[in-house]
Amino acid sequence: MSLHLLRFDPDLLRCQTWFRQEHLLNRDVEDEGYAWHALLTAAFGRDLAPKPFRVLGRRGRPPQLLAYSAHDGATLAAHADAFCDPLAHQALNIATLAGKPMPAFAAGRRLGFEVRVRPVVRTDGPGGRDSVAERDAYVAACARAGAGPRPDPADVFADWTQARLAAGGAEVAAIRLDAIAGDKVLRRGAPGSGGGRPLVAISGHSAVLVGTLSVRDAEAFGVLLARGVGRHRAFGYGMLLLSPPEA
């Protein structure tokens, strides 16, 4: 399985114009993950739109959008050149799209990592598995604690992330919470009376975790890297950014 790391240098003013024209902004929701997802889908279609991705704000410099894709930058650029709406093309600055193939990481390889996640757990609703619900992991942990001491959110999110990395062939040597936010995201709700699916605001937590891991299962880790960590991977969460491990 080939995997490519892509870098976009978007034009933020044009992106905001496109977001507004498509009615993808909400004054009560700071997270723009759904808007970026929609822009990538508009540029590349559902089959080619890269995910997971991460928008990185940089102090004093324009933001970057990094993403993993099974397709190289030339393939994506050719599709956008042929079919993309001109404003979306300019907003993502397709002409400067850069990419590189990712190497395969062998078992035993130590790596530093950073990942932005939206920790949620799936629970059965009143109708059993036919009514599965998604719940914020910290809210669920507090419910399990009952009248006892409230859990530390840093522990909840670290444990949640470590479990998903372990399921993806990685053994975590160190992990710490780098940032946390209680925020809302926009997602499509149930179909309304007119048949459309309106955007609704959903509360929860986002977290950035950093640490060091070792690859235990090379094949499973490759799948994890391409798929991303947790849910909401098409909306700016779950991209595993790698770096040399700390000494």
pLDDT digits (tens, 9 = 90+) for 152-202: 999 999 999 999 999 999 999 999 999 999 888 888 876 665 666 778 888
Mean pLDDT of 47-56: 96
Q: How many CA atoms lie within 13 A of 160 on its CB side?
A: 32
Contact between residue 183 and residue 31 where contact means Cβ atoms under 8 Å apart: yes
Contact between residue 186 and residue 29 where contact means Cβ atoms under 8 Å apart: yes
Contact between residue 37 and residue 234 where contact means Cβ atoms under 8 Å apart: yes
Residue 137 predicted with pLDDT over 80:
yes
Q: Tell me the backbone φ, ψ of residue 72, rounded to 5 degrees.
A: -80, 170
List b or e across 168-207, with b for residues whose CB sees 16 or more CB atoms inside 10 angstroms: bbbbbeebebeebeeeebbbeeeeeeeeeeebeebebbbb
d(CA 164, CA 180): 18
pTM over 0.75: yes
Residue-wise pLDDT for 65-121, tens only, equals 999 999 999 999 999 999 999 999 999 999 999 999 999 999 999 999 999 999 999
